Amino acid sequence: QARRSVTVIGLGPMGQAMARAFLDAGYAVTVWNRTAARADELVARGAQAAPSAEAAVAANELVVLSLTDYDAVFTVLESVEPALKGKVVANLSSDTPGRAREAARWLAERGAGHLTGGVQVPPSGIGSPESSTFYSGPVELFRRHRAALEVLTAADYRGDDPGLAQLYYQIQMDLFWSSMVGYLHATAVAEANGITAEEFLPYALPTASLLPRMIEFYAPRITAGDHRGDVDRLTMALASIEHVQHTAEDSGVDGALPALLAEAVRRGVADGDGAASLSTLVGRFRRA
Ligand code: NDP
């Protein structure tokens, strides 16, 4: 049986971890990076450094890209155009769903396949089956290369639309960033009042762990379009968020973040939704 082989282009922290995982799994690995020295350690471990990006693409059917964003992806792909026919590009670079669709179209016009990947873990999680990556694109390409991709992380195939892997990734990041910034804002108010982050910790954790239960409660209601104000009301949310904003401002902390939340809720109240649930914000955000 021929030795399994793969090309990895882009050797930032993520691409390096990926190339290492393939080497550890016994793959023949060809690598290329714009800054060539980033390949040195991998070559010492047994990887082949290709003399050009085009040679790297030519070396194997499966080409894994791990680049900063899709601007970098297009810069690299345009430079290797003659070598692309028949290749399958597993693009594990982050960007928007729209850009993933654009790359898939561009590659299809050149006789190449595109699998979009949205990696959900930092480089330290690469090589672990407990980590997960979203994939989307033609199912037959995913099936053909699934075993290789699962060397990196578990693979969660989301569907044929090349945008889907990025979409699932971005909606998770949407939730992540607003929650994380919310935590940092609360910590700023705590610190401004002489409460350290560690003193806040035993109180921050139970509040943060309310979120999973709230999400479980609201998801089926939101899907059903049920925004009854039987457990919470916009008017109550508005009063509470205003208290948060004023406490921040009284503490000398920037109140812009809670003010933004209060404004979204206030518009709902002004439109007559005061007795409805906070979940009506989903529809209001969609109309925005
Ligand atoms: P980096 O930005 O550190 O590295 C990306 C690579 O892109 C480098 O090899 C860099 O080359 C290359 N690159 C950038 N611009 C160009 C260009 N114009 N032409 C050629 N090569 C270029 O990213 P990471 O390694 O951290 O991550 C890679 C991808 O994975 C990103 O899309 C990131 O969002 C995503 N990701 C990262 C996670 C993380 O925790 N790191 C987690 C989940 C996803 P050079 O060495 O020459 O600069």
% of the chain surpassing 90 pLDDT: 97
pLDDT band at 246 (very low <50, low <70, confident <90, very high): very high
In the CATH scheme, what is the code of domain 5-160?
3.40.50.720
Q: What is the pLDDT of residues 70-92, one digit of tens each?
A: 999 999 999 999 999 999 999 99
Q: Which atom of ligand 1 is nearest to the CA of 11?
A: 9
Section 215-236 average pLDDT: 96
Q: Where are the domains of the chain?
A: 5-160, 168-287
Section 114-137 average pLDDT: 97
Tokens matching residue 127: 């090589």
Q: What is the pLDDT of residues 38-78, one digit of tens each?
A: 999 999 999 999 999 999 999 999 999 999 999 999 999 99
* Residue found under tokens 């003193």: 199
Nearest-CA residue for atom 30 of ligand 1:
93
Q: Which atom of ligand 1 is nearest to the CA of 120?
A: 43
Gap from CA of 13 to ligand 1 centroid (Å) = 7
Is it the case that residue 196 has pLDDT exceeding 70?
yes
Nearest-CA residue for atom 38 of ligand 1:
122
Q: What is the dihedral of CA 257, 262, 264, 265, to 10 degrees?
A: 150
Gap from CA of 115 to ligand 1 centroid (Å) = 18
- Structural class in CATH, domain 168-287: mainly alpha
Q: What is the pLDDT of residue 158?
A: 98
Gap from CA of 129 to ligand 1 centroid (Å) = 22
Give the DSSP letter of residue 225: T
pLDDT band at 2 (very low <50, low <70, confident <90, very high): low
Gap from CA of 93 to ligand 1 centroid (Å) = 7
Is it the case that residue 15 has pLDDT exceeding 60?
yes
Residue type at 91? N
Section 149-177 average pLDDT: 97
Residues 5/29, Cβ–Cβ less than 8 Å: yes
Give the DSSP letter of residue 269: I
Q: What is the pLDDT of residue 287?
A: 78
